[in-house]
Amino acid sequence: MVVNVSNFSRNGLSDFLLQRLTAVVIAAYVLCVLGFLWLNPGLTFVEWISYMESIYMRIFSTLTLFSITAHAWIGMWTVSTDYLNEHHFRSFGHVFRWFFQLFVTVAIVIYVLLGLWVIW
Amino acid sequence: MQVSIYRYIPETDSQPRMQDYEFERPAGRDLMVLDVLEQLKIKDPSITYRRSCREGVCGSDGMNINGRNGLACKTPLGAVVKNNRLVLRPLPGLPVIRDLVVDMTQFYKQFERVDPFLINDEPPPEKERLQSIEEREKLEGLYECILCACCTTSCPSFWWNPEKFLGPAALLHSYRFLADSRDTAKEERLSQLDDPFSVFRCRTIMNCANVCPKDLNPTRAIGKIRTLLVKHGT
Ligand code: SF4
Ligand code: SF4
């Protein structure tokens, strides 16, 4: 049977709220970047770099990076406990789920490190 | 009309099969799916299904009718038969005992988990615990559930985690008592629901509200429980 140990906060409500909150952050970030592009037609690379390298955008980018991480983990954890379980794969269910969660964890760690390196 | 019925006896059959029957629909009037089963059972008494009241009150003849869960006694042929074909299968997601009869144990276990009864620790009044008309109105659309399991067995979240996700029927009952002005165990009820599965596995797919033969809306009740949990937890 599926257990909760690998769940983000081990509490349904915080996961639920966190997933919605991070979605708002991600959406705001997308709007912010798209809005900048839309307001600045004929943008040069130098202008773009100076915008993205401002301290506000760096902090916002970092916040978004972590939001995507939390959002992805909660979502992937849900998918794996729905579909990679004993109902679909009998006794292999927890092995598949374990490998999948390991894979997602590694991918997320690489993503965060790479992201921080790019932003800062 | 061709009627195709799921046949399976787990003790003796290696796997389930669909058996076809010919059925003559009477001209000039519609029948319920249950009428068809009753008449076919006269010809082939081995066909097995549950039924009792035959008028949508007992909730025992829930089954999958042409791909959609419903009560056989309340489903007119005219509403479901396509291409002159009727396909009857057991409710999905529960173990089959025989033909259209499923083992409802898991469904009832989840029902029990929500303490589906009034809890009030105050001393009982002389006669009865009264409610105002407004308080009573909050129970509309909740108390009518007949536990037919049509909703819960059409919910993918219940199929994948039947031991952990309560399912729409149990959650509807949970909200029925959370919304009851006479119940004093709200805190305890909410604390029991706050894990990643019991309530939050609902992904608002709305299959439940779509099939309920009593036209109830478990999705809405689940949304209200979520709101209560947010208030409770913050
Ligand atoms: S909510 Fe509707 S479909 Fe679900 S068990 Fe109750 S009556 Fe049946
Ligand atoms: S709304 Fe929720 S409970 Fe209803 S079928 Fe969808 S996931 Fe299941």
CATH number of the domain bearing residue B38: 3.10.20.30
Kindly give the distance from the C-alpha atom of residue B218 to the centroid of ligand 2, in angstroms, as a whole number: 8
Kindly give the distance from the C-alpha atom of residue B44 to the centroid of ligand 2, in angstroms, as a whole number: 37
Which runs of consecutive H residues, i.e. helices, occur in A40-92?
45-52, 55-83, 86-89
The number of CA neighbours under 13 Å toward the Cβ of A4 is: 15
Chain A residues within 8 A of B164 when measuring between CB atoms: 1-2
Which residues, in sequence order, are bridge partners of residue B6?
Answer: B18
Ligand 1 atom index nearest CA of B212: 3
State which of B102, B124, B147 marks the end of a domain: B102
Specify the CATH number for the domain of residue B218.
1.10.1060.10
What domains are there in chain A, each with its CATH number? 12-119 (1.20.1300.10)
Q: Which residues contact A116 (CB under 8 A, 6 or more apart)?
A: A62, A65
Q: Report chain B residues touching chain A, CB-CB < 8 A.
A: 156-157, 159-164, 193-201, 226, 229-230, 233
Specify the range with the lowest mean pLDDT, choosing from B4-8, B102-106, B190-194: B190-194
For residue A5, what pLDDT is reported? Answer: 58
For residue B171, what pLDDT is reported? Answer: 98
State which of B102, B135, B157 marks the end of a domain: B102
For residue A10, what pLDDT is reported? Answer: 63
Q: How many domains does chain B have?
A: 2
pLDDT over threshold 90, residue A100: yes
**Is residue B160 in contact with ligand 2, taking CB distance under 6 Å?**
no
ipTM of the complex: 0.77
**Within a 10 A sphere around the Cβ of B5, how many other Cβ atoms?**
23
Which residues, in sequence order, are bridge partners of residue B41?
Answer: none
Q: What does the alpha-carbon distance between residue B48 and residue B11 come to, in Å, rounded to a whole number?
A: 15
Q: Whose CA is nearest to atom 6 of ligand 1?
A: B145
pLDDT over threshold 90, residue A71: yes
Mean pLDDT (chain B) is 96
Same domain, B172 and B192: yes
Query: What's the predicted TM-score (pTM) here?
Result: 0.89
